[in-house]
C-alpha cells in the first residue's frame, strides 16, 4: 500500500509510467505456463531480484517495473515492484518486430537489484480477489488501442480518396462507387467493434462479473476486426497503401501486433466454447 500511495503522490505532479513484465526469453509467454527464471531472494533489508524479462514496453522510461517472479527458496510466484532507477537494471534493444517500433519494447536485465521488503507480494494474495477484473480490463484496453489504429487507417484512406484526382477520372477517387463500398466496409467493422467494446467496458463499470464470456468476445472480435479493417483500407488505397511515404503501411504493421497480446485467441475461443457447452448455458 505504501508503494501505491507513493505512486498516487507522484502522479499528482507528473506522469508516472508503470508496466507489468511477465514474459521471459526462454519461457516465452507466461500465459502458456512454464517455470519463471526471474527470482527474488531475501536480503538483510528486503529482496534481491535477478533475472531477464522480454517484451517490456517502455522499458527504458518506466518509473516502476512490475515483475512476475519466483521466490527462490519456496518457488512461490509473486509480483515484485522495482523502481525504474534502481541499480542493476540494464536494457537490451531487442525489439525488431515489424510493428510498434516506437513502443520501446525491449528486454530488461535485473542483476542483484535490491528492493524494500514490502515490494514483493505473493500472487495469490495480490491477485486472487481481482484477477478476473485485471485480465478483463487489460483486454478491453488492448481492444481500444488497436481499434484506434484501425480508425486512423480508415481516416487516412478517406483523406487519400478525397485528395487523389487521377487525370483519367477527372474527379476525386472518393467518387468511385467501388471505393465508397470499401470505405463503408471498413467503417462497418469499426462501428460494430466499438459498439461491442462500449458494451463490454460498460458491463465492467456496472460491476458485472468480469469473467463474463462477453469480455472474451470483446478482445477476440475487436482485434480481429481491427486487422481486417486495416487490410481492407490498404487494399483500397492501392500503391499508396504500401508506400513507405504514407501512414497506411505503418498502420498495417502496427495492427498485426494485436495478434500477439494475451489472452491468445485459442484460449479465448476455448473459454467461449466451454461456456456455451456448459450445463447452464449463458445467454446475454
Residue 160 lies in a domain: yes
Q: Across all residues in the chain, what is the average pLDDT? A: 90
Burial of residue 280, with CB atoms counted within 10 A of its CB: 0-12 exposed, 13-18 middle, 19 or more buried:
exposed
pLDDT in the model for residue 271: 86
pLDDT band at residue 3 under the 50/70/90 scheme: confident
Burial of residue 38, with CB atoms counted within 10 A of its CB: 0-12 exposed, 13-18 middle, 19 or more buried:
buried
pTM reported for the whole predicted model: 0.84
Residue 47 lies in a domain: yes
Domain boundary among 112, 127, 142: 127
Written in H, E and C, the secondary structure of 22-35 is CCECCCECHHHCCC
193 and 110 in a single domain? The answer is: no
pLDDT in the model for residue 29: 61
pLDDT band at residue 30 under the 50/70/90 scheme: low
Residue 18 lies in a domain: yes
- When computed from its CA atoms, the radius of gyration of the chain, rounded to whole angstroms, is 22
114 and 199 in a single domain? The answer is: no
Digit-coded pLDDT (tens) for 32-75: 667 899 999 999 999 999 999 998 999 999 999 999 999 999 98
Largest CA distance in the chain: 78
146 and 110 in a single domain? The answer is: no
164 and 148 in a single domain? The answer is: yes
Residue 284 lies in a domain: no
Residue 283, pLDDT above cutoff 90: no
List the grid coordinates of 275.
461456456
pLDDT band at residue 133 under the 50/70/90 scheme: confident
145 and 39 in a single domain? The answer is: no
pLDDT in the model for residue 28: 60
Domain boundary among 127, 158, 189: 127
Contact 133, 141 (CB under 8 A): no
Query: CB neighbours (10 Å) of residue 59?
Result: 26
Residue 117 and residue 3: Cα distance in Å, rounded? 11
Owning domain of residue 65 = 2-127
Residue 282 lies in a domain: no
Residue 57 lies in a domain: yes
Of the two residues 267 and 232, the one the predictor is more confident about is 232
Digit-coded pLDDT (tens) for 137-182: 989 999 999 999 999 999 999 999 999 999 999 999 999 999 999 9
pLDDT in the model for residue 232: 98
Digit-coded pLDDT (tens) for 206-233: 988 888 888 889 999 999 999 999 999 9
218 and 120 in a single domain? The answer is: no
135 and 246 in a single domain? The answer is: yes
CATH number for the domain spanning 66: value is 2.40.110.10
The residues near 87 (Cβ < 8 Å, ≥ 6 apart) are 113, 114
pLDDT in the model for residue 53: 95
Hunting for cell 488492448 — which residue is that? 142
pLDDT in the model for residue 68: 93
Residue 283 lies in a domain: no
Cis peptide before 93 (omega within 30 of 0): no
Strand partners, 12: none
176 and 217 in a single domain? The answer is: yes
The residues near 244 (Cβ < 8 Å, ≥ 6 apart) are none
pLDDT in the model for residue 108: 96
Q: Using the 8-state DSSP alphabet, how is residue 260 labeled?
A: G
Domain boundary among 110, 127, 144: 127
Domain count, the chain: 2
Contact 78, 123 (CB under 8 A): yes
Hunting for cell 488505397 — which residue is that? 237
135 and 122 in a single domain? The answer is: no
Average pLDDT score over residue span 123-130: 59
161 and 232 in a single domain? The answer is: yes
Residue 71 and residue 74: Cα distance in Å, rounded? 6
95 and 142 in a single domain? The answer is: no
Residue 165 lies in a domain: yes
98 and 145 in a single domain? The answer is: no
Average pLDDT score over residue span 115-137: 78
pLDDT in the model for residue 143: 96
Burial of residue 223, with CB atoms counted within 10 A of its CB: 0-12 exposed, 13-18 middle, 19 or more buried:
buried
Amino acid at each position: 500500500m505504501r508503494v501505491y500511495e507513493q505512486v498516487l503522490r507522484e502522479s499528482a505532479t507528473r506522469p508516472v509510467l508503470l508496466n507489468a513484465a511477465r514474459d521471459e526469453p526462454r519461457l516465452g509467454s507466461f500465459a502458456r505456463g512454464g517455470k519463471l527464471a526471474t527470482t527474488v531472494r531475501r536480503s538483510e533489508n528486503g529482496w534481491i531480484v535477478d533475472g531477464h524479462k522480454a517484451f517490456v514496453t517502455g522499458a527504458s522510461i518506466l518509473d516502476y517495473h512490475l515483475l512476475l517472479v519466483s521466490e527462490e527458496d519456496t518457488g512461490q510466484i509473486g509480483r515484485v515492484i522495482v523502481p525504474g532507477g534502481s541499480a542493476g537494471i540494464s536494457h537490451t534493444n531487442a525489439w525488431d518486430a515489424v510493428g510498434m517500433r516506437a513502443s520501446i519494447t525491449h528486454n530488461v536485465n535485473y542483476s542483484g537489484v535490491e528492493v524494500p521488503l514490502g515490494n514483493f507480494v505473493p500472487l495469490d494474495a495480490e491477485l486472487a480477489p481481482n484477477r478476473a477484473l485485471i485480465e478483463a480490463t487489460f483486454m478491453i484496453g488492448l481492444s481500444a488501442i488497436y481499434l484506434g489504429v484501425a480508425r486512423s487507417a480508415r481516416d487516412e484512406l478517406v483523406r487519400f480518396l478525397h485528395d487523389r484526382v487521377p487525370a483519367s477520372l477527372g474527379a476525386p477517387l472518393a467518387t468511385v462507387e467501388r471505393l465508397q463500398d470499401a470505405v463503408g466496409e471498413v467503417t462497418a467493422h469499426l462501428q460494430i467493434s466499438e459498439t461491442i467494446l462500449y458494451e463490454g467496458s460498460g458491463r465492467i463499470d456496472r460491476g458485472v462479473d468480469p469473467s463474463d464470456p462477453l469480455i472474451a468476445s470483446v478482445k477476440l472480435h475487436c482485434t480481429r476486426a481491427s486487422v481486417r479493417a486495416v487490410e481492407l483500407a490498404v487494399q483500397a488505397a492501392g500503391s499508396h497503401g504500401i508506400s513507405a511515404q504514407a501512414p497506411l503501411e505503418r498502420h498495417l504493421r502496427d495492427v498485426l501486433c494485436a495478434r500477439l497480446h494475451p489472452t491468445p485467441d485459442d484460449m479465448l475461443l476455448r473459454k467461449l466454447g466451454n461456456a456455451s457447452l456448459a450445463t447452464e448455458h449463458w445467454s446475454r
